[in-house]
């Protein structure tokens, strides 16, 4: 009987012990869940704040408010590293009425509190350099150099602060700032869950702040680029105006010099010595070259300023090519060059004949310049039913493969040695002008060459005057911006 009672008592005790263990476990679990719940709520609020602003200050303010309201700290502070001022600067603090009053009495305004990177005694700098979290019981440790010691002590006393946890905000291996978690608990009262909360929350804060900083950097860069771009446009306009004015001013005296030298050479009533004749001839050639350069520069500035009109109409490209070949016949004769136009029956093209004349004159003129005496220049045509391609082929100097892509840029003279420049006498603008004109007429232009001494072929395409295109003729017309200017004739 007695042993039966003992067994019942033991059983009862066991049940009691088990219930006690279960109760402790449940309580601990509840505790953990409540912390997890706090963290989740805080992270959600952080995400909402991150979506609703792209500015650093309001986002930092929203974060420290979450630290106070959702995580339950007495207040929260964010300080950000500023590499322009070489220091770390407090940017946001969550406040209540009591704190608000205190902030008003600060000897240095909260947002003006900067701790220089080279400060020796402020704990902030240790956190930045070590990239490690830390705790201090002494508020002055993070206010050293910013606020008087007595002031820090007064704050600590007034708010009964037991210390501050400092967590570095790290992204991509770099500290971008520090978040402060001030506490009214003793350090040994801080649970492991609370450390986890600070750890995880800090990591997320670093991520959202880094995103906003990246966005701000991008925004700043694009704003700077827009300003630089505007400045470039203004400079470009200034340059165009200068080229245009200078070219006009240069052309008149140069044309006069050319006429007088020509007259001195050909119409002189005194006989010229051989030497003088040579000098005058050189003056004439150089002046002509200058006039050509000025004409090309004028054409470029007119095209770029949109002063050129395109008035397309249907015409025969073969007939126009034959006309141009007639124009260059004498020049070709001087080098004994053979000129050939391979005739085809072709549909009419829809383009501005004056501008196509300029392009042909430039391409055939180049072929004349860069083909050895006795060589041949052939113009051929091809059509695919939508466009006509015109090819000017020579068997002269050719072009190196690497140079082909440079040809249609401004001042694209390929050999910059002085002799080559002076013998070819070009400006390096002709192909740029040709490309601009072809493109204004909805065509394209390209060059082919097998290499040095293997000749070159320059081809451009123009739309065919189909019924459909004629119906939409207006789309092919280009009106000039402001005053209409013609093109100076291409020199050959
Ligand atoms: P320019 O002939 O006035 O120098 P272009 O823009 O018409 O200017 O031509 C640019 C450069 O392209 C020439 O200086 C020359 O080096 C090269 N080039 C043009 N056409 C030919 C060609 N048919 N054969 C070889 N090189 C050429």
* Tokens describing residue 75: 């207040």
- 113 near 89, Cβ under 8 Å? yes
Q: CA 431 to CA 233: how far, in whole Å?
A: 24
Q: CA 71 to CA 198: how far, in whole Å?
A: 9
Per the model's pLDDT, the better-predicted residue between 235 and 322 turns out to be 322
397 lines ligand 1 (CB under 6 A): yes
365 lines ligand 1 (CB under 6 A): no
The verdict on domain 31-220 having CATH code 3.30.450.40 is yes
Element (H, E) at 469: helix 467-471
CA of 349 to the centre of ligand 1 (A): 26
Q: What are phi and psi of 111, to 5 degrees?
A: -75, -10
Range 318-336 average pLDDT: 96
Residue with the smallest CA separation from ligand 1 atom 9 is: 428
Identify each DSSP E strand in 172-320 by its residue range: 174-183, 313-315
The total number of residues shown for the chain amounts to 492
- Residue (of 332, 329, 460) closest to 396 by Cα position: 332
Q: How far is Cα of residue 432 from the mean position of the Cα atoms in its chain?
A: 25
Range 448-464 average pLDDT: 95
Position 1 pLDDT exceeds 80: no
Name the average pLDDT for the chain: 90
CATH code for residues 308-476: 3.30.565.10
Sheet hosting strand 163-171, strand order edge to edge: 114-116, 87-93, 77-82, 174-183, 163-171, 134-136
Q: CA 196 to CA 231: how far, in whole Å?
A: 53
CA of 128 to the centre of ligand 1 (A): 62
337 lines ligand 1 (CB under 6 A): no
Tens-place pLDDT, residues 245-261: 877 788 889 999 999 99
Position 20 pLDDT exceeds 60: yes
Q: How many Cα atoms sit within 13 Å of 128 on the Cβ side?
A: 24
Residue with the smallest CA separation from ligand 1 atom 10 is: 428
Q: Using pLDDT thresholds of 50, 70 and 90, give the confidence band for residue 415.
A: low
Q: Using pLDDT thresholds of 50, 70 and 90, give the confidence band for residue 486.
A: confident
CA of 262 to the centre of ligand 1 (A): 27
CA of 411 to the centre of ligand 1 (A): 10
* The pLDDT value given to residue 249: 85
Same fold, 31-220 and 308-476: no
Q: For ligand 1, what atom is nearest to the CA of residue 394?
A: 23
Using DSSP, state whether 342 is helix, strand or coil.
coil
Pocket test for ligand 1, best of 428, 446, 458 (most atoms within 8 A of CB): 428
Give me the residues paired with residue 170 across strands.
175
Q: How many helices (H) and strands (E) does the chain have?
A: 13, 13
DSSP 473: G
Position 5 pLDDT exceeds 50: yes
Q: Using pLDDT thresholds of 50, 70 and 90, give the confidence band for residue 417.
A: very low
CA of 27 to the centre of ligand 1 (A): 89
* Tokens describing residue 470: 């004629």
Q: How far is Cα of residue 323 from the mean position of the Cα atoms in its chain?
A: 47
Neighbours of 344 (CB within 10 A): 12
Residue with the smallest CA separation from ligand 1 atom 25 is: 398
- Residue (of 196, 111, 125, 123) closest to 164 by Cα position: 123
* The pLDDT value given to residue 425: 62
Using DSSP, state whether 404 is helix, strand or coil.
helix
Q: For ligand 1, what atom is nearest to the CA of residue 370?
A: 24
362 lines ligand 1 (CB under 6 A): yes
Tens-place pLDDT, residues 169-217: 999 999 999 999 999 988 888 888 889 999 999 999 999 999 999 999 9
Q: CA 103 to CA 109: how far, in whole Å?
A: 8
Tens-place pLDDT, residues 213-246: 999 999 999 999 999 999 999 988 888 788 778 7
Element (H, E) at 1: none
Position 421 pLDDT exceeds 80: no
Residue with the smallest CA separation from ligand 1 atom 18 is: 366
Q: CA 62 to CA 64: how far, in whole Å?
A: 6
CA of 428 to the centre of ligand 1 (A): 7
* The pLDDT value given to residue 418: 35
CA of 303 to the centre of ligand 1 (A): 20
Least confident piece of the model among 5-9, 336-340, 487-491: 487-491
- Residue (of 179, 176, 177, 185) closest to 201 by Cα position: 179
Q: CA 387 to CA 463: how far, in whole Å?
A: 4
* The pLDDT value given to residue 219: 93
Domain spans in the chain, listed from the N-terminal domain onward: 31-220, 227-292, 308-476
- Of all residues in the chain, what percent carry a pLDDT higher than 90? 63
- Residue (of 427, 434, 436, 412) closest to 306 by Cα position: 436
428 lines ligand 1 (CB under 6 A): yes
Instruction: Give CA separation, 59 vs 38, 93, 212, 394, in Å.
Output: 20, 12, 9, 69
CA of 292 to the centre of ligand 1 (A): 14
Least confident piece of the model among 16-25, 62-71, 72-81, 400-409: 16-25
Q: Using pLDDT thresholds of 50, 70 and 90, give the confidence band for residue 105.
A: confident
Range 278-300 average pLDDT: 91
Residue that the structure tokens 């196509």 belong to = 356
* The pLDDT value given to residue 414: 61
As a whole number of Å, the end-to-end CA separation of the chain is 134
Tens-place pLDDT, residues 366-412: 999 999 999 999 999 999 999 999 999 999 999 998 889 889 998 86
Position 480 pLDDT exceeds 60: yes
Question: Is the C-alpha dihedral spanning 120, 121, 126, 128 positive or negative?
Answer: negative
Using DSSP, state whether 463 is helix, strand or coil.
strand
DSSP 427: -
427 lines ligand 1 (CB under 6 A): yes
CA of 366 to the centre of ligand 1 (A): 6
Residue that the structure tokens 């300080």 belong to = 79
């Amino acid at each position: 009987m007695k042993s039966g009672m003992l067994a019942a008592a033991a059983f009862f005790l066991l049940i009691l012990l088990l219930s006690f263990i279960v109760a402790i476990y449940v309580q601990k679990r509840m505790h953990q869940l409540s912390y997890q719940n706090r963290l989740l709520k805080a992270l959600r609020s952080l995400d909402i704040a991150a979506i609703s602003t792209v500015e650093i200050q309001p986002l930092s303010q929203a974060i420290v408010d979450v630290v106070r309201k959702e995580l339950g700290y007495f207040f929260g502070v964010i300080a950000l590293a500023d590499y322009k001022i070489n220091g770390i600067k407090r940017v946001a603090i969550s406040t209540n009425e009591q704190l608000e009053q205190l902030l008003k009495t600060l000897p240095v305004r909260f947002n003006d509190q900067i701790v220089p990177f080279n400060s020796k005694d402020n704990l902030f700098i240790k956190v930045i350099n070590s990239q490690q979290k830390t705790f201090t019981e002494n508020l002055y440790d993070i206010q050293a150099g910013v606020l008087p010691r007595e002031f820090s002590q007064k704050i600590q006393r007034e708010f009964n602060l037991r210390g501050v946890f400092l967590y570095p905000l790290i992204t991509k291996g770099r500290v971008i700032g520090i978040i402060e978690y001030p506490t009214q608990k003793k350090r040994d009262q801080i649970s492991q869950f609370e450390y986890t909360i600070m750890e995880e929350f800090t990591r997320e804060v670093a991520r959202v702040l880094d995103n906003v900083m990246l966005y701000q950097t991008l925004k700043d860069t694009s704003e700077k680029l827009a300003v630089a771009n505007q400045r470039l446009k203004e400079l470009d306009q200034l340059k165009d105006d200068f080229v245009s004015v200078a070219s006009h001013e240069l052309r008149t005296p140069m044309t006069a010099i050319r006429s007088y030298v020509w007259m001195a050479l050909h119409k002189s009533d005194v006989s010229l010595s051989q030497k003088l004749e040579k000098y005058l001839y050189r003056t004439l050639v150089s002046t002509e070259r200058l006039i050509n350069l000025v004409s090309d520069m004028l054409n470029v500035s007119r095209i770029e300023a949109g002063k050129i009109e395109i008035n397309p109409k249907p015409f025969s490209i073969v007939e126009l090519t034959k006309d141009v070949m007639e124009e260059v016949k004498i020049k070709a004769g001087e080098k004994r060059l053979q000129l050939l136009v391979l005739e085809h029956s072709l549909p009419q093209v829809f383009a501005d004949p004056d501008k196509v004349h300029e392009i042909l004159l430039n391409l055939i003129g180049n072929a004349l310049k860069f083909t050895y005496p006795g060589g041949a220049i052939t113009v051929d045509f091809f059509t695919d039913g939508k466009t006509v391609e015109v090819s000017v082929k020579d068997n002269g100097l050719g072009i190196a493969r690497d140079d082909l892509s440079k040809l249609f840029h401004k001042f694209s003279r390929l050999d910059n040695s002085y002799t080559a420049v002076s013998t070819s006498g070009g400006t390096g603008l002709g192909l740029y002008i040709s490309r601009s004109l072809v493109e204004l007429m909805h065509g394209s232009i390209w060059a082919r060459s097998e290499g040095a001494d293997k000749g070159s072929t320059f081809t451009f395409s123009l739309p065919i005057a189909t019924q459909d295109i004629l119906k939409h003729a207006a789309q092919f017309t280009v009106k000039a911006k402001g005053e209409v200017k013609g093109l100076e004739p291409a020199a050959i």
